[in-house]
């Protein structure tokens, strides 16, 4: 069980942060294009899901989540979006269950605390803060489903 | 209803078969007096609620019927424009039925092709070697399962998130497809399937 990589996007599609831990196959396109492709795919999946959904997304209570995750034969992509449009995307392998609370923690305890509340960190562009990078790295490594052994 | 719909997509991304079986969507009918406290707008040939959510009428719901008579896109059954009709105080009080709009067959075609592309992108962005495309997509209201055959045909099933056994259902649908469509000498490959037998088997 392992985490492959993590993306953080803002509401305009700017990739705020990307880190990888165990990634065996690169996309074959430059990183900038990969971020745009990932963001575009997620945007399309969200609109696809809201059209396809047989029930109202907001039928029972306000704040239903919409798209949560997808999986292929080799990896699982987990998605979490905040009401402000910040998207946290994590690729893990297949053995991992729902990790919405983990993604929420990355947003609230790491991104909000270390980047948003930092007056020296400009929002709307890639996060330069080394503190954020290292805290995020140690948090992900401490997760129960992260194993240091690749694969 | 545990299975909501079944879609079969060909190699090129075109929809060749589609079956819906979910219960009718929640609708709300209310009587209004002038002026209307909802903001309506025209979108994609339908009149949708843009603002003014209340009492079961939500943003994104479409006008389904006025005074009990079904609405035809943006025109009433008599051929008058809905927005014009609702803008005229002489027509009030009026009873309007709102609900989630059903997908038109054009929209289903578009969604099937959209899924075809997303399936391929899912495989391209994979951090692991040899990944297939999207096999299962999870949301809080439904789960979408996809099975791609060796020939590139995709069988897509939308079901309740708690429903089990969809994988064997997908294999069974593939079996039915090969029995009824492929063994039929009059069926040309990759074309839309319209056989009743297939529909009955799939509904079972």
* Low pLDDT (below 50) residues in chain B: none
For strands B136-139 and B143-148, give the pairing.
antiparallel
pLDDT value at residue A28: 86
Give A49's contacts in chain B (Cβ within 8 Å).
Answer: 137, 139
Contact by Cβ (8 Å): B151, B164: no
Structure tokens at B110: 């578009």
Tell me the C-alpha distance between B31 and B85, whole Å.
15
In this prediction, residue A76 carries a pLDDT of 93
Q: Is B42 on the interface with A (CB under 8 A)?
A: no
Is pLDDT above 70 for A69? yes
The helix (run of H) or strand (run of E) holding residue B7 is strand B3-9
Confidence of residue A60 (pLDDT cuts 50, 70, 90): very low
Residue at token pair 């025109």: B75
Q: Which residue of B has its CA nearest to A49?
A: B139
Residue count of chain A, please give it. 151
Q: Is B118's CB within 8 Å of A59's CB?
A: no
- pLDDT tens for A90-137 read 999 888 888 889 999 999 999 999 999 989 888 888 988 899 999 999
Task: State chain A's mean pLDDT as an integer.
Answer: 87
Residue A79 pLDDT greater than 90, yes or no: yes
Contacts of B14 (CB under 8 A, 6+ apart): B109, B112, B113, B190
DSSP code per residue over B132-185: -S--EEEESS-EEEEEE-TTS-EEEEEE-TT---HHHHHHHHHHHHIIIIIT-T
pLDDT (average), residues A29-54? 90
| 3 state DSSP class of A83 | coil
Question: Given a cut of 80, is residue A43 above it in pLDDT?
Answer: yes
Residues of A in contact with B134 (CB under 8 A): 70-72
Q: Which pLDDT score is estimated for A8?
A: 94
Question: B78 is written with which tokens?
Answer: 């008599």
Longest dimension (CA), chain B: 67
Q: Length of chain B, please?
A: 204
- Tell me if A140 sits within 8 A of A3, measured CB to CB: yes
- Given this model, what pLDDT does residue B73 score? 74
Quickly state the pLDDT bin for A26 (edges 50, 70, 90): confident
Angle between helices B196-203 and B166-177 (to 10 degrees): 160
Q: Both tokens of residue B152?
A: 């590139």
Report residue A151's pLDDT band, with 50, 70 and 90 as the boundaries.
very low
Q: Which residue has the tokens 């719901």?
A: B61
B93 cis-preceded (ω within 30 degrees of 0): yes
| Among A24, A48, A54, beta carbon nearest to B141 | A54
- pTM given for the model: 0.84
Going through A10-112 in order, the beta strands assigned E by DSSP cover 15-20, 67-71, 76-81, 87-92
More confident residue, A8 or B19: A8
pLDDT the model gives residue A10: 92
Q: Does B114 touch chain A (CB under 8 A)?
A: yes
ipTM for the complex? 0.84
Residues of A with Cβ-Cβ distance to B158 under 8 angstroms: 52, 54
Q: In whole angstroms, give the CA distance from residue B15 to residue B110.
A: 9
Helix (H, G, I), strand (E, B) or coil at A21: coil
Query: What does the angle CA A10 – CA A13 – CA A15 come to, to the nearest 5 degrees?
Result: 70
**Backbone φ/ψ region at A107: left (φ over 0), alpha (ψ -120 to 50), beta:** alpha
Quick one: pLDDT at residue A61? 40
Better-predicted residue by pLDDT, A3 or B75: A3
Residues 6 or more apart in contact with residue B9 via CB below 8 angstroms: B15, B16, B112, B113, B115, B116, B153, B154, B156
pLDDT at B43: 78
pLDDT, one tens digit per residue, over B16-55 is: 888 887 666 667 788 887 777 888 888 777 888 888 777 7
């Amino acid at each position: 069980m392992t985490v492959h990589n993590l993306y953080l996007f803002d509401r305009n599609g700017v990739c705020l942060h990307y880190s990888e831990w165990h990634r065996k196959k690169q996309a074959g396109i430059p990183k900038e294009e990969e971020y745009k492709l990932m963001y575009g795919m997620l945007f399309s999946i969200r609109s696809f899901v809201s059209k396809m959904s047989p029930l109202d997304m907001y039928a029972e209570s306000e704040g239903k989540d919409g798209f949560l995750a997808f999986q292929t034969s080799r990896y699982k992509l987990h998605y979490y979006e905040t009401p402000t449009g910040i998207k946290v995307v994590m690729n893990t392998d297949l053995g991992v269950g729902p990790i919405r609370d983990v993604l929420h923690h990355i947003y609230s305890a790491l991104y909000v605390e270390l980047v948003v509340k930092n007056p020296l960190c400009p929002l709307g562009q890639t996060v330069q803060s080394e503190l954020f990078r290292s805290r995020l790295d140690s948090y992900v490594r401490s997760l129960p489903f992260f194993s240091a052994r690749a694969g | 209803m545990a299975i909501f719909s079944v879609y079969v997509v060909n190699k090129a991304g075109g929809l060749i078969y589609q079956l819906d079986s979910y219960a009718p969507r929640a609708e709300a009918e209310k009587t209004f007096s002038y002026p209307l406290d909802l903001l309506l707008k025209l979108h994609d040939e339908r009149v949708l609620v843009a603002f003014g959510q209340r009492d079961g009428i939500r943003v994104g719901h479409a006008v389904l019927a006025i005074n009990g008579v079904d609405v035809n896109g943006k025109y009433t059954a008599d051929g008058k424009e809905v927005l014009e009709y609702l803008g005229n105080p002489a027509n009030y009080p009026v009873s309007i039925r709102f609900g989630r709009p059903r997908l038109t067959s054009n929209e289903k075609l578009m969604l099937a092709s959209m899924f075809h592309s997303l399936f391929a992108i899912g495989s391209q962005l994979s951090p692991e070697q040899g990944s297939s495309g999207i096999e299962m997509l999870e949301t809080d209201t439904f789960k979408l399962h996809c099975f791609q055959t060796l020939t590139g045909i995709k069988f897509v099933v939308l079901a309740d998130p708690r429903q089990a056994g969809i994988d064997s259902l997908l294999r069974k649908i593939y079996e039915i497809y090969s029995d009824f469509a492929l063994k039929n000498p009059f069926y040309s490959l990759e074309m839309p399937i319209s056989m009743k037998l297939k529909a009955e088997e799939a509904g079972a």
